[in-house]
Amino acid sequence: MAKMIHSMVRVLDEKRSVDFYSLAFGLNVAERVEQETFTLVYMSDEEESFELELTINRGRDVPYALGDGYGHLAVSVDNLDAEHARLIEAGLAPGKIIEFVRKDDVFARYFFICDPDGYKIEVLERRGRFK
């Protein structure tokens, strides 16, 4: 059976993106791989083996067109309200908290935040299927 190991996003500014993912989600640089025309930065945390790969293409100064195919990354947190407040305090401008009710029960509580390149990240409260 296949195991999901990472997701990759292309970013313009390595430091800005590393700082964002570190501050917003506690990810740390696990490895940095320099190549002639690009750099790969693998970020992870101590809880999971899944990594986020940031790809920085040298010489690129035009923002990437995210198109209409990209949806979002998702992370889960124990205390959604506290994380939302922390991100506001950090100046990262998360969206409003949403409660998704299905069959008279809260299926999910979440909000979205965008990284410096405009990639959406869904922040879900740990409950039900979102662990």
Please report which confidence band the pLDDT of residue 60 belongs to, taking 50, 70 and 90 as the band edges: very high
Summarised one tens digit per residue, pLDDT across range 78-126 is 999 999 999 999 999 999 999 998 889 889 999 999 999 999 999 999 9
Please report which confidence band the pLDDT of residue 12 belongs to, taking 50, 70 and 90 as the band edges: very high
Percent of the chain with pLDDT strictly greater than 70:
99
Whether residue 69 is predicted with pLDDT greater than 90 in this model: the reply is no
The pTM of the full predicted model, rounded to 2 decimals, is 0.88
- Let me know if 83 is a catalytic residue: no
Q: Which domains does the chain have, with CATH numbers?
A: 1-60 (3.10.180.10), 71-131 (3.30.720.110)
Q: What is the C-alpha separation between 77 and 130, in angstroms, rounded?
A: 9
Whether residue 2 is predicted with pLDDT greater than 80 in this model: the reply is no
Identify the burial level of 104 via C-beta atoms within 10 angstroms of its C-beta, where 0-12 means exposed, 13-18 middle and 19 or more buried. exposed
Percent of the chain with pLDDT strictly greater than 90:
79
Give the closest residue to 54 by CA, choosing from 77, 76, 78, 30.
30
Please report which confidence band the pLDDT of residue 48 belongs to, taking 50, 70 and 90 as the band edges: confident
Task: Give the residues across from 55 on adjacent strands.
Answer: 10, 40
Catalytic site residue from 51, 53, 83, 122: 122
Average pLDDT over residues 26-30: 96
